Amino acid sequence: MSAYSSSARFKMSSLQQPIHSGFNAASTAAEVIQGIDLKGKTAIVTGGYSGLGLETVRVLLAAGAEVIVPARDVARAQAQIGEVKGAHVWPMDLLDPQSIDAFAERFLASHKTLHILINNAGIMALPELSLDARGYELQFATNHLGHFQLVARLWPALKAANGARIVSLSSRGHRFSSVVFEDINFTQRAYDRWLAYGQSKTANVLFAVELDRLGQEHEIRAFAVHPGGILDTNLAKHIDLEEFRSMGVLDAAGKPIIDPFNGLKNVQQGASTQVWCATSPALNDMGGVYCEDTEVAVLMADPKAGDFNLARNGFAQGGVNAYALDVEAAKHLWALSETMTGVSLKA
C-alpha cells in the first residue's frame, strides 16, 4: 500500500459537508431540475443511452439543453434511446484513445461550447482480470482513464463556456479500496473484482478533487457522485441473482426492492444527484466534493480501506472515505493518468 492509501490524516476540502439542499434520497432527476432553464447550453453524457444516463439525457433535454451521447455502437444506442427525441449520438469508445480523440476533435470543430459533461458510463465487478490494449486493468481504464482523456481533449470547449460543470459517477463502492498506485493493474497481487472496482471509483472522486482545483480559474467545477443502489441497469450484469439475494436487495418475486432511504433506488431517483450537481445554482461556488442523495455527503469517521461489505452496509450506509478526497493523492493520480494516457490539459 502507498502512503496515499493509508488511513492516516488527509488534507482535503473543507466543503465536504451537507449544505441542506432541500432534496433527499427519494428526489428524482425531474424534480431537482424544475425551474432550471438550459436553453443555449450543451451537454455530453457518456453512457447516455441506457439506465441512469438515459434518464439524465431525458431531463436535460426537457430543460432545453442540446445533448450529445457518445456510444461505441451508434445504431444500438439510437435504438435504445428510442422515444427520447433530440439527443445526438456520436461514435466514441472509452477504451479506444483514438476514438476519444476523434470525438473531441469533432466537437471542437463544431465550435460549440461545453457547459455540462457527465461521465456516467462505467463497468463493474468484472469476474476475471481483463486488460485493455495498453495493458491497463479494464475497470480502471474504462471508469477513469477514458474519462480523463475525454476531459483533457474537451478542455478548450469547457473553458469557453465561462461556467462549466463536470460530474463523474463514483459509488459507495469506493470504500472497497483506495487507489493502489504501486499495483493498479494487479500484476503483484491476486485480482479481486471488487477491489478493482473500488479503486476505479476512488479514482473518480480523486479525479474530481484535482480537476476542480485546476478548473476553478476557468469557472469549471467538478463533482463526484454516488447515484444509489440501482439494480435495473447494465452496470450490474456481472452479478448473479443469488449474489443479489444474499445482499437482501430483491423481494420474494426476485424483483429489485425500491427503498431510497436505505440506498435502494429506481432510475429516476438514481439520476437525481448527477443532475443536481450538473445544474443546481446552490453549487455555483462549490466543487471537488462527493455527493449522494442529492446532497453533499458527510465525511465518514475513521474510515478504513476495505472495511466494506455489500451485504452488510453497501447500500444503506452513506458517506465518503477521507482517502478519496486527499488532495495529495489526487495530484498523484492526475500525474499518473497523464503518463498512462499520454495526454494533459496543456496538450
Residues 71 and 145 sit within 8 Å (Cβ to Cβ): no
Phi, psi of 314 (to 5 degrees): -70, -30
- Beta-bridged to residue 45, according to DSSP, are 118
Helices (H) and strands (E) in the chain — how many of each? 11, 8
For residue 157, how many C-alpha atoms fall within 13 Å in the half-sphere facing its CB?
Answer: 25
For cell 473531441, the residue is: 104
As annotated, the active-site residues are 197
Phi, psi of 277 (to 5 degrees): -65, -30
For cell 424544475, the residue is: 34
Residues 298 and 17 sit within 8 Å (Cβ to Cβ): yes
Rounded alpha-carbon distances, angstroms, from residue 70 to 47, 54, 67, 212: 7, 12, 10, 23
Phi, psi of 245 (to 5 degrees): -60, -40
CA 254, 260, 264, 268 dihedral sign is positive
For cell 490539459, the residue is: 345
What is the Cα Rg of the chain in Å?
18
According to DSSP, the β-strands at 289-292 and 295-296 are antiparallel
- Helix H or strand E encompassing 317: none
Rounded alpha-carbon distances, angstroms, from residue 236 to 29, 126, 177, 191, 263: 21, 10, 19, 19, 15
The angle subtended at Cα 235 by Cα 178 and Cα 16, nearest 5°, is: 40
In three-state secondary structure terms, 78 is: helix
Q: What is the dihedral of CA 98, 102, 108, 111, to 10 degrees?
A: 180
